[in-house]
């Protein structure tokens, strides 16, 4: 990959806000933004063999309560997002909710994250889902190394200057 900073020059102001006028990465200045209530919802899937889902459902995983530990991992990851995503601002998280739906051949994950601040929590919600999915994989990999983590995506966000966004809206 090229280090040519001219690749980002000329981009519209809001399109690549993590780049300055010279094309260098920087942390966006949010100092002048208004504090608002901000919420983001993200989702993802861990696809697995039916036997693996049964082990989770029946609580037979050797490492313990798979979904309970994945929930804690997602919450912890939410609070550490700024430490692992280089240009994220550290945020005062006011709420995290992580839910799972265990299906015959997959676990669906949904994370809702909230804050009252100057920037959104989209990355925190996505990080929560990612960490929960990775934890499910880690706790059950001994019985199913072929699991696939799929479709980690933002479902909605609200608050801030751009207001509400929902996946699928025009």
Catalytic residue list: 138
Tokens coding 91: 């945020």
Residue 62 CB neighbours (<10 A): 9
d(CA 21, CA 1): 21
Which 3 state secondary structure label does DSSP give 156?
Answer: strand
Rg (alpha carbons) of the chain, rounded to whole number: 18
DSSP-derived secondary structure letter, 138:
H
User: How many CB atoms sit inside 10 A of residue 81's CB?
Assistant: 24
**Chain centroid, CA 128 distance in Å:** 5
């Amino acid at each position: 990959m090229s280090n040519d900073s001219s690749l980002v020059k000329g981009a519209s102001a809001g399109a690549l806000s993590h780049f300055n006028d010279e094309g260098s990465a920087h942390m966006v200045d949010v100092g002048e933004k208004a504090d608002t209530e901000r919420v983001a919802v993200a989702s993802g899937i861990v696809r697995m063999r039916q036997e693996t889902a049964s082990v989770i459902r029946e609580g037979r995983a050797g490492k313990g309560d798979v979904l309970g530990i994945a929930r804690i991992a997602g919450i912890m990851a939410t609070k550490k997002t700024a430490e692992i995503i280089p240009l994220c601002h550290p945020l005062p998280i006011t709420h995290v909710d992580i839910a799972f739906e265990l299906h015959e051949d997959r676990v669906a994950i949904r994370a809702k994250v909230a804050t009252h601040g100057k920037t959104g929590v989209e990355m925190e919600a996505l990080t929560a889902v990612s960490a929960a999915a990775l934890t499910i994989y880690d706790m059950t990999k001994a019985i199913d190394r072929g699991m696939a983590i799929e479709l980690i995506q933002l479902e909605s966000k609200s608050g801030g200057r751009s207001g509400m966004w929902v996946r699928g809206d025009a």
